[in-house]
Amino acid sequence: MKEIVIISGKGGTGKTVVTASFAFLAKDKVMADCDVDAADLHLLLEPKIKEEGKFHSGATAVIDKDKCIACGRCLEVCRFSAVSLDFTIDPVACEGCAFCRNICPVSAIEMKENLSGQWFISDTRFGPFVHAKLGIAEENSGKLVALVKKKAKELAKAKKASFVIVDGSPGIGCPVIASLSGADCALVVTEPTLSGLADAKRVINVAKHFKIPVKLIINKFDLNLKISKKIENYCKEDNIDILGKLPFDKSVIEAITVQKTLPEAASDNIKKIAESIWSKLSSQL
């Protein structure tokens, strides 16, 4: 079983569209969406939920006003500015370290476990799909990512699937690091803009830092041929395989708008390129 994680550094370069194409093209696989705080893959896969569960993570301090003697110890030790001058806790600022509870002389502070999100195992027209929804303004997306990946891998093992295909999140921080953990390939989707290039370099270095092999796709490559060339040169120097280049094509946006994957609804040219990318990727792993 091989695990492919699709990442980009910069947001909006086409991670989810590429991932959804693989959902259509790969035969025996489990799909997973690890962009848990702005998940979109479900819009193209239309999952029917079979199993779901709650995700508890971390805790938030709560001060019992009746017990509180306003001594100010909690305010003094909190490094996250979560305690207000009238001794209430800002649940958004609180990082759940429990320092305040541990030093409160009258035990007026309790830690309440957070319900941070939900996970789902679903059926789709392309097979099984594990996804999740992080609660609004919640923390610990990295832990929810790890949970989604664990469930997807268990499912793939049980079904003897050849691939786990994971849609990652933008950035290089905790959810991205969590999604890369244990992957066989990080597939970077980038675009020929200075931002796309700068961000791809950063995320490539993160993947390398964790010793995950990297491959790359240039999306909308014809929007700036000069920068596309720069990306190609960078990849050459860094020994990164470019699996394909997709042109800017309005049929891609039209396919998303009717909530279909590229092989189902985009132009023949786009379909052909998507097929060739998947065939290279699947044969190289």
Partner 1 sequence: MIIAIASGKGGTGKTTIATNLALSLGKVKLLDCDVEEPNSYLFIKPQIEKKHSVYIPVPKINSDKCNLCGRCQEVCAYNAIAVVKDKVLVFDDLCHGCGACSYLCPEAAIDEVNKKIGIIEIGKREKLEFIDGKLDIGQAMAPPIIREIKKHINPEDVTIIDAPPGTSCPVIESAEGSDFVILVTEPTPFGLNDLKLAVETFRKLKIPFGVVINRSDLGDKKTLDYCAEENIEILLEIPFDKKIAASYSAGELIIETQPEYKDKFINLFEKIKRKKRRHNEKS
Binding site residues, partner 1, CB under 8 A: 8-13, 16, 37-38, 40, 43, 58-59, 77, 79-80, 92-93, 95-99, 102-103, 134, 136-139, 141-142, 169-177, 191-196, 198-199, 202-203, 205-206, 209-210, 223-224, 226-227, 250, 253, 256-257, 259
User: How many residues are present in the chain?
Assistant: 285
Report in angstroms how near the CB of residue 76 gets to partner 1 at its nearest: 10
CA atoms within 13 A on the CB side of 263: 18
Query: CB-wise, 131 or 155, nearer to partner 1?
Result: 131
Report in angstroms how near the CB of residue 96 gets to partner 1 at its nearest: 6
Place of tokens 């957070």: 114
Report in angstroms how near the CB of residue 207 gets to partner 1 at its nearest: 10
Q: Is 213 helix (H, G, I), strand (E, B) or coil?
A: coil
Query: CB-wise, 2 or 230, nearer to partner 1?
Result: 230
Separation between Cα atoms, residue 177 and residue 131, nearest integer Å: 17
Report in angstroms how near the CB of residue 233 gets to partner 1 at its nearest: 16
Query: CB-wise, 155 or 245, nearer to partner 1?
Result: 245
Separation between Cα atoms, residue 279 and residue 281, nearest integer Å: 6
CA atoms within 13 A on the CB side of 230: 15
- Crossing angle for the helix pair 225-237 and 194-209, to the nearest 10 degrees: 20
Query: CB-wise, 206 or 281, nearer to partner 1?
Result: 206
Q: Is 172 helix (H, G, I), strand (E, B) or coil?
A: coil
- Beta-bridge partners for 61: 111
Query: CB-wise, 43 or 70, nearer to partner 1?
Result: 43
